[in-house]
Structure 1
Amino acid sequence: MSKLIIRKSNTLILCILFSFIPNCASQNNLKESHADPSSVISSLEKINIGGTDQWILSRGNDIKKPVLLIVHGGPGAASIGFARYFYNELEKHFIVVNWDQRGSGKSFSFFMPEVTPETYVSDTVEVILFLKKKFNTKKVFLMGHSWGGYIGAIVAHRHPEHLLAYIGIGAVVHGEQSARISYEFILNQARKDPALASQANDLTLTSYLENRRKWLNKFGVGMFHGNHRNDEDEFLRGVMFDSPDYSLMNMVTYLPGIWKTSSRIRPFFFKMDLFKEAPEIKVPVYFFSGRFDYYNPGEILEQYVSVLKSPKKSIHWFECCAHAPHFETPDDFAAKLISAIDSK
């Protein structure tokens, strides 16, 4: 651990003072194979997207596998620092691309301009076009988590020509409904707990939203339902700390990246509505949701999928998970994703 601290401290000093590996990829072959060292890709690079420098990490056991672009949640909860921990199984089947969106993670900037959800939709399309050229492929898989699921669905609605499929994990379907349903759930649960009943009497929707993460984690319906519901921050910090892709500076600016990005997007949250913004997606759609997810309750997702126009659509449930089944049970998630894509 001390060697890691020294390495990351040296990186920070370099940051204060002041690989791209070209490969080709073909399209659809999801059957697992043993990694050939000559086919493995691990490429961390800075690219210009929407006029700003942003970072992507591309990793996979076989450059002939299809590309899977992950649009992380938050807003601002960048994913490159988690990639090597959570996506090892997926890397056997895809070239997995983690992208730290503008203003977050390795893409953090102290001088972030004003942004709207449309900014991130445009950025996502640019990243997809970059990956199509980089890997010489006609289409990619697009996977979005939470906020990223909302952005991904809009991209899939507008630009299906670039995609093999859209995959949503705990996606924001309707911001206002999500907030109100989760608020009512927490209010009811808190009233049943003698230690929290007095707090529940004073809990308004506004005060709940100001501390939403704290309240959801109390009842295991936030990011995690199982092992890490009570130590989410410590666990995720440890994962990032062990990542060779994040410097100490990246870790120092990680939370400010979330705060700054989220504050810019918060005024748009109640306006997010996939019923109106993505009523049709002309590629296969696969949703994955934890039964205990009250960031984005499953009942709203079921309503959306029932009216969504798509050539193929499905919801896959994780009975022991909350908002992040791909983090809570990564191997099970990978198996279900591959099975869903391979099913006729």
Structure 2
Amino acid sequence: MKKFIREKSSIRNTLILCLFFTFTLNCKTQSNLKEPNIKPSSPISSLEKVKIGGASQWILSRGNDIEKPVLLILHGGPGAASIGFARYFYNDLEDHFIVVNWDQRGSGKSFSLFMPEVTPETYISDTLEVVLFLKKKFHTQKIVLMGHSWGGYIGAIVAHRYPEHFFAYIGIGPVVNGEQSARISYEFILNQANKDPSLAPKVKDLTLLSYLENRREWLNKFGVGMFHGDHRNDEDEFLRGVMFDSPDYSLVNMLTYLPGIWKTASRIRPFFFKMDLFKEAPEINVPVYFFSGRFDYYNPGEILVKYVSALKSPKKSIHWFECCSHAPHFERPKDFAEKLISVINSTALFEN
């Protein structure tokens, strides 16, 4: 009987020890899962109206982790607002940045019937205000600035004047010199059209001015406009479809989209031939990365090559998209995102 009691007691003690170790192991496992330095990512998606330069303007901020660096995108045009395209073209960048699209004054969601007179300096001042707003909103000392075409011109000047606010400047097919861009693309169209018997008569009396009035139509004929490949012939239809699917644009925004481009472009057109980054941004004291399509004749690559050669910057490079024209970030968004992230990672940009 005593032997049985001792054996029963021994079994009980063994069970108690097993339960103790099991409990301890579980506690350690749960503790490891709750280490204070392991933080779940906090996504952000905000669409807000902000007073910039005294005018109401709209800003969309999206990213999968609010701790990521801020990337401010300056759209082209002038007036070709980007909030309506943001979710489609910039989705792959949202894993790596807080991607900010801003519809510049007079365009997209920021359209206004009572737009005052503007100059490029108006947009430079607006850009700086947006940058300061984003730095305060996201509690960051610096951001990444990226501009396309007209936005690339404005962005280069802002980065030249205020480098202390930026990790880097990224230009996509920027306007480097307005007059040179117009003349080189005009000569290209004349040469190409004269090789085609059906087009040669149409360019016989084509002047530089009349060419510029229909530049988009001429460039698209040869796949050297906004798109080189799939959407060179249905650019408007494709972009309208993207905009229509956007939850960030209302029907009113879509109806006023083109008037916003026409109105803004008409105000800036007198300044186009005066745009010259060789003079206005000869030095940018942050890393500078350019992305350009080989078939871009809105802003031909040969001018960009000369500018980068002359530009003073701690880091500078051009990255080419062999199958694209003026908008590689629209034509190959996944490839563009991969190349951009690769360039940034290879330069350890955010460790500086």
Would you say same fold, with TM above 0.5? yes
Of the candidates 152, 157, 160, which is equivalent to residue 160 of structure 2? Answer: 157
Q: Does 1:245 align with 2:245?
A: no
Q: 2:215 aligns with which of 191, 212, 215?
A: 212
CA apart distance, 1:339 = 1.0
User: Tell me, which stretches of 5 or more residues in structure 2 are unaligned?
Assistant: 1-38, 348-352
Q: Which residue of 2 aligns with 1:296?
A: 299
Q: How do 1:35-184 and structure 2 match up within 5 A?
A: 39-184=42-187
* Counterpart residue identity of residue 319, structure 1: E
2:260 equivalent in structure 1: 257
Report the Cα offset of residue 324 of structure 1.
0.2
What is the number of equivalent residue pairs in this alignment?
Answer: 309
Deviation at 1:315, TM superposition (A): 0.1
User: Structure 1: which 4+ aligned runs deviate by more than 2 Å?
Assistant: none
1:340 Cα deviation after fit: 1.0
Match of 2:199 in 1: 196
Among 213, 236, 248, the residue aligned to 2:239: 236
TM-score scaled by length of structure 1: 0.89
SS of residue in 1 equivalent to 2:248: coil
- What are the superposed Cα offsets for residues 77-117 of structure 1, whole Å, 9 maximum, x if unpaired? 00000000001100010000000000000000000000000
Out of 290, 294, 300, the position equivalent to 1:287 is 290
**Whole-angstrom CA distance in 2 between matches of 1:263 and 1:296:** 19
SS of the residue 1:114 aligns to: coil
Q: CA offset at residue 343 of structure 1?
A: 1.5
CA–CA separation in structure 1 for the residues paired with 2:158 and 2:52? 16
d(CA) in 1 for partners of 2:337 and 2:127? 23
User: Aligned match of 2:319 in 313, 316, 328?
Assistant: 316
Q: CA deviation at 1:257?
A: 0.1
1:221 corresponds, among 220, 224, 240, to 224
SS in 2 for 1:92: coil
Q: 1:342, CA displacement in angstroms?
A: 1.5
Kindly provide the amino acid, as one letter, of the partner of residue 156 in structure 1: A
**1:203-244 alpha-carbon deviations (Å, 9 max, x no partner):** 111110010000000000000000000000000000000000
Structure 1 SS opposite 2:67: coil
Query: Percent same amino acid at aligned positions?
Result: 85
Q: Counterpart of 2:338? A: 335
Deviation at residue 303 of structure 1 after TM alignment: 0.1
Name the residue aligned to 1:271.
274
| SS of the residue 2:91 aligns to | coil
Structure 1 unmatched runs, 5+: 1-34
Partner SS, residue 190 of structure 1? helix
- Give the C-alpha shift of residue 329 in structure 1: 0.3
Backbone CA RMSD of aligned residues: 0.9
- The CA distance in 2 between the partners of 1:342 and 1:118, in whole Å, is 33
